[in-house]
Amino acid sequence: MKKAIMLGAAATVLSLSASAWAHVPEGQVFAAWQWPTNQLPNLDGDISEWNALPQEYWVDIFQTSVAEGNVGGAVDTANLNFRFAMGWNDDLDRIYYAIDRFDDVWDRDGGGFGCCGQDDSQEVGLDSDHSGDFFWAFEGTDEELKRNRGRQAQTGHYRWPALAPFGWYWFWMSSADWHDKEPYSCCPTSYTLNGTHGSEATLQAEWYTVGWDDFNYEGPDVSIRHDFVEGEIVGAGLQVVDNDNGPAEDDPRTSKWVLGGQSDIFGNASSFSDFILLPVDTARLPTAVENDTWGNIKASFAQ
Ligand SMILES: [Ca+2]
Ligand SMILES: [Ca+2]
Ligand SMILES: [Ca+2]
Ligand SMILES: [Ca+2]
C-alpha cells in the first residue's frame, strides 16, 4: 500500500509529480469526497445531495477516451454524456459512486443489441489497497482461476434496472453470488431512469460497495475487507459502455469510454486511476438543520 498523504480540503484535481504513481492519467489524482456518517447519501436515485461536491470533483466524459470500439472518436454529447463522482465513508468503510448519464439510445434489456448481451453499463473497478497489477488471472487450475480472479481488486458492470441474468452488479470474472447484496453493496433500486430501452434516456444512480484486500468468491467470512483511511490513495477504473457507436469489426456497436484510456482496465489495476480519500469538508456540507429542512421540502413535493 502506498503511504497515505494528507492534502487540504480545498484540493481540486491534484497535480502531483508524475513519478509518484504509475497509474493513469499520469500524475493526476482525483477526489473521493468524504460522506460523514451522520450525512450519508440517501440512496434513492435522487442524486441532488451530490451537488455538495465542487465541479472539479466530478469526472466527465471529456476526461475519458474510447479505449475499445470507436477508438479516437470525438466526444459527441448528443450520443453520450456523463459525469461520475466517488465518495467514501470512514466508519462503514464504503466507497460510494454517483453517475449522471445521458444516452441517445438506451440499451438495457438483459441482452439484445450490443456486444455479448452486455447492455449499456458503467463498469467500475476498485483496487482498495492500491496494489496494482492484474486481477484477471491468466494461468492456473480451474480452482486457482476461480480463487484468483478478482482477488486483489474487484470490478463490475453496474446497470439499472437490475435484470436477469446478471442483476445490477455483475462481477463478471467471479463466481461469487453474495457481493451484490447488503452490507457489501447496494442498491438494485437506487436509480432514476427517464426513458426506456431503445430510446433516449437519462440515468441517475448512486450506490456503494465495500473493498476487499483479499476477495474469496466463497464468501465474506473467508475474505479480507479493506479498512479505508482518510488521506489514502485508492485505485479505481472507470469505463462507461455505450452500445450505439458502431461500426467496429468484432463489436459493431460498443464503445468503452475509459478514464485514462487504457484498454486493459477490465483486469489490470495498474491501468486504474488514483483517487484520494478526502477529509470531511464541513463548509460544503449542508448543516444538519438545512439537511432536515431540505428533506422535508422534498418529502412534501413527493406527496
Ligand atoms: Ca440520493
Ligand atoms: Ca449513445
Ligand atoms: Ca447507448
Ligand atoms: Ca489490491
The pairing of beta strand 80-89 with beta strand 94-103: antiparallel
Does the residue 186 lie in any domain? Answer: yes
**For residue 6, is it within any domain?**
no
Give yes or no for residue 184 having a pLDDT over 60: yes
- Looking at the predicted structure, is the pLDDT value of residue 1 above 50? no
Look at residue 210 and tell me whether its pLDDT is greater than 80: yes
Is 193 domain-assigned? yes
* DSSP assignment string, 55-83: GGGSEEGGGEEEEESSTTPPP-TTTEEEE
Residue 1 lies in a domain: no
- Pick the more confident residue, 95 or 252: 95
- Ion ligand 3, residues whose Cβ is below 5 A away: 103, 105, 107, 120, 242, 244
Neighbours of ion ligand 1 (CB under 5 A): 42, 44, 46
Evaluate if residue 110 carries a pLDDT over 70: yes
Of 11-20, 23-32, 105-114, 203-212, highest mean pLDDT: 203-212
d(CA 89, CA 9): 15
What is the reported pLDDT for 112? 59
What is residue 9's predicted lDDT score, i.e. its pLDDT? 35
Distance (angstroms) between ligand 1 centre and the Cα of 42 equals: 4
3-class SS of residue 290: helix
Mean pLDDT, residues 287-298 taken together: 51
Q: What percent of the chain has pLDDT over 70?
A: 83
Q: Which domain holds residue 94?
A: 14-302
DSSP 225: E
229 vs 72 pLDDT, higher one: 229
Query: In degrees to the nearest 10, what's the CA dihedral of 296, 297, 300, 302?
Result: -110
Kindly state the cell numbers that stand for 286.
449542508
Asked if pLDDT for residue 3 goes beyond 90, the answer is: no
Give the separation between CA 12 and CA 14, rounded to whole angstroms: 6
With CA atoms as reference, report the closest residue to 232 among 285, 283, 185, 279. 279
- Asked if residue 267 belongs to a domain, the reply is yes
Domain count, the chain: 1
In order of 43, 50, 87, 105, 176, the CA distances from 202 in angstroms are: 17, 17, 22, 10, 30
3 assigned to some structural domain: no
The band of 14, judged by pLDDT with boundaries at 50, 70 and 90, is very low
Nearest ligand, measured from the Cα of 119: 3
Cα 26 to middle of ligand 4, angstroms: 19
- In this structure, is residue 7 part of a structural domain? no
- Position 253 scores a pLDDT of 78
Going by pLDDT thresholds of 50, 70 and 90, the confidence category of residue 12 is: very low
Better pLDDT: 245 or 297: 245
Q: If you search the block for the grid coordinates 438543520, which residue do you land on?
A: 289
Please tell me the distance between residue 205's alpha carbon and the centre of ligand 1 in angstroms. Answer: 8
Is 135 a domain residue?
A: yes
Q: Distance (Å, rounded) from C-alpha 145 to C-alpha 243?
A: 29
What's the grid cell of residue 69? Answer: 470500439
pLDDT bucket at 2, cuts 50 / 70 / 90: very low
Ligand nearest to the CA of 190: 1
Give yes or no for a cis peptide into 252 (omega within 30° of 0). Answer: no
Give the domain CATH number at 68: 2.60.40.1190
Ligand 1 centre to CA of 46 (Å) is: 4
**CA 242 / ligand 2 centre spacing (Å):** 6
Confidence label for 270 from pLDDT (cuts 50, 70 and 90): very high
Question: Please, which residues have CB less than 5 A from ligand 4, an ion?
Answer: 127, 129, 131, 152-153
Report CA(51)–ligand 2 centroid distance (Å).
25
